[in-house]
Chain A
Amino acid sequence: MKRDNIVIAVVGAVLLGLCVYLAIDDATTFFTFVAAGIALGAVYALVSLGFVVVYRATGIVNFAQVGLVMFGAFFTQNAYVTWGWSFWPSVLASIVVTALVAVLIERIAMRRMIGKPLFFTILLSIGIFLVFYSLVTSIWIGFEGNTLHSPWFTGGQHTFGKVAVLDVDIATAVAGAAVLLVFFALFRFTKMGLAMRATAIDPEAALAQGIRVPRVVAASWATAGIVAVVTGVMLGSGAEPKVALSAAGIAKVALAALPAMVLGGLDSPGGAVVGGLTIGLAYELFLGYYQQYFSALGNTFADVMPYLVMILILLVRPSGLFGTRDVRRV
């Protein structure tokens, strides 16, 4: 355990040193990449938070969250284009519908998996994700490649010092920070948050203490649905490297958030954000510098790097950086 910490500290120090070197070398370039990395990291963090809220209440790695993100983004666009609503009402409608869909998924499918092997539950959530993928891509074919008409997607930018940052990136980072703060408050200060934590640890004991477990689980799924819409809107209103409206693109980014979540530890909202930012920064910095330093790896390396980083960290720490360590019983 101590050796883990030393390994992590040494690697962290080396990476930090590398960053300082790059920053001194050409500060403007470096911080442009850092800003992009934070924006991308905020997206990863948002997806991870959606995973974490369900994981914390039910212990499920919920791949269906990826489907919800797609659904949320495409439904918003549907309200905007097909029904001609303006942006904010569209988002609000999407939030209501997606939260409802999330609760229905839990009620109809996931609840029946209580007491079944964990892998079956995960597999069920993957199945639901794939069903959503087919549905979204075939119902809303015309929306692929569109951009959500969010107020901050104007191509406008703010300049900090010499570093120009797109408005959409700032909005994403703000949304990520806001959701994290709400989560923190929810888990720490509300009765519902406490009930969620209790339910996650031991549903039966929670039930015995008078917690209405089904309601708590439904609430956590509804929260995941809301976060999914926020994530989907942020993804759908961004330019590259975020994806505009594309089911495949959303799936790619959302699945890449899995390593981010694992990095932080599956049950830690703070870890989700740290993991998301780490992966986002690593992605953008690599993409920014690979031609100069690692051109042999090719630019697609950026897509697998999150997974490689995750595998390496899991080898040192099998429960992630901030995750609760597993106690194994016979």
Chain B
Amino acid sequence: MSGPSRTPATPSASAALTNDQLARRSRREQRLIPSAGHAVGLVMVLATYLLLPHVLDNLWATVAVQAGILCIGGLGLNLLTGYAGQASLGHAAFISIGVFAASYVGRSAAYGGKGQPFLAYLVVAIIAGAVVGFVVGLPALRLRGPYLVIVTLGLVYATSYALTQWVTVSGGSVGAFTPVSTQIGTFNFQTMSVGRDQGLVYLVWGFAAVTGLVVKNIVRSRPGRALQAIRDRDVAAEVVGISLFRYKVGAFVVSSAIAAAAGVFYSTTAARFTADTQNFGLALSVSFLAAIIVGGIGTVYGTAIGAIIIAALPTVVTEYGANIPGVSDHLVTIFSGMIVAAVLVVTLITQPAGIAGSIQRLKSRNLRRVPESAAS
């Protein structure tokens, strides 16, 4: 099965370690916060989270919300594609399920909805995503490589069609209004003193952090190792007693539940959505894939970095592109439209392991240097 493999530890370095040391190192790597450096990093990220919305103007706050949505969905996709090795172009379908579940349960009865509060439609969307993920995961058990990729693309079209036909939920070709409430109890993120979009930054990135923790805990424990074993050699994984059914389908369920949650937050970005493939098509799936590839597939922090880059780039181009001398407005428009795809292409050609891969490579280069200098 396709899927990225981790950079193997250099044989010379591991050979020098005793089994005991190896076991200790592996236990340390599995800790949530492996070192003091990581703890400092986390505190800095937390400080940024608390302060940043006060600094961002409305435009960049919208970008930050987009980045948070890409990060949440990307974490789910990373679990499925990065860890379990199940290549999927179907993420847009699950996002759309989240959007319309939120819309139907959340919008007021006047618009044909149920008028339920934020937490209710978040939960309903997650359950809907999980159920559809289960249904999709079953046939995916039989499909491999390019066939799975094309079938997941078909899923995007099929979901778009099914939702458009289901007029009660999606409003058909007219589209459905999205609920504006993001209220938990009496606290509403959109009426915070920092501003609407800035408040949403808190909400979305807060949820992204929770998702990150969930995904991190999955991948650093038994299920995560099982998923990676399936990714690297699924037949071998089955032979050593890993249930392909449980873990492959499980990866689809968790991944699409997370994607549906991302869809709930996506629904805050527009007042109305239609279920057509202009909104929820190949391009949307690719932006999530671009986020995890650029950041570094198979890593949790890489997903966050990639999401920020992919969300910010088009706006960076449109905001600052015209300032570069000799660049016409037309060129800026062309470039902002293709920047995500272009960055994806360049990343895949030059550094398929993404930014996390570059960091990893720098680290291991430093590690290797120490014993070499000690030997000479």
Interface, chain A (partner B; CB < 8 A)? 55, 61, 108-109, 112-113, 116-120, 122-124, 126-128, 130-131, 133-135, 137-139, 255, 258-259, 262, 266, 297-298, 300-301, 303-304, 307-308, 310-311, 314-315, 318-320, 326, 328-330
Contacts and interface: CB of A to CB of B under 8 A. Distances in A.
Contacts of B164: 300
Given A126-B89, A134-B337, A135-B338, 4 more contacts: A55-B146, A120-B2, A133-B338, A326-B145
Contacts, number: 139
Contacts of A135: 334, 338
A328 B293 CA distance: 27
Interface in B106-163: 139, 142-147, 149-151, 153-155, 157-158, 160-161
Nearest to A315: B139
B194 interface: no
A122 B341 contact: no
A130 B139 contact: no
B4 A117 contact: yes
Given A120-B352, A330-B233, A258 B142 contact: no
16 contacts: A61-B150, A108-B349, A109-B348, A117-B3, A117-B4, A122-B146, A127-B342, A130-B283, A130-B340, A133-B338, A134-B334, A304-B157, A307-B155, A314-B147, A314-B151, A318-B143
Contacts of B146: 55, 61, 118, 122, 266
Given A123-B293, A123-B344, A255 B153 contact: yes
**For the complex, would chain A's binding face be called helix, strand, loop or mixed by DSSP majority?**
helix
B203 to A, nearest CB: 30
Contacts of A318: 142-144, 147
Contacts of B233: 330
**For the complex, would chain B's binding face be called helix, strand, loop or mixed by DSSP majority?**
helix
Contacts of A308: 154, 158
B154 A113 contact: no
Nearest to A304: B161
Contact of A307 (B3, B158, B282): B158
A182 B352 CA distance: 37
A31 B333 CA distance: 47
B158 A124 contact: no
Contacts of B95: none
Contact of B161 (A113, A303, A315): A303
Contact of A126 (B165, B235, B286): B286
B239 interface: yes
B158 A130 contact: no
Interface pairs A-B: 3 shortest CB-CB: A307-B154, A134-B338, A130-B341
A188 to B, nearest CB: 24
A108 B146 CA distance: 22
B183 to A, nearest CB: 36
Nearest to B289: A123
Nearest to B297: A120
B147 A127 contact: no
Interface in B267-290: 282-283, 286, 289-290
Contacts of B165: 297-298, 300
A311 B139 contact: yes
B87 interface: yes
A122 B338 contact: no
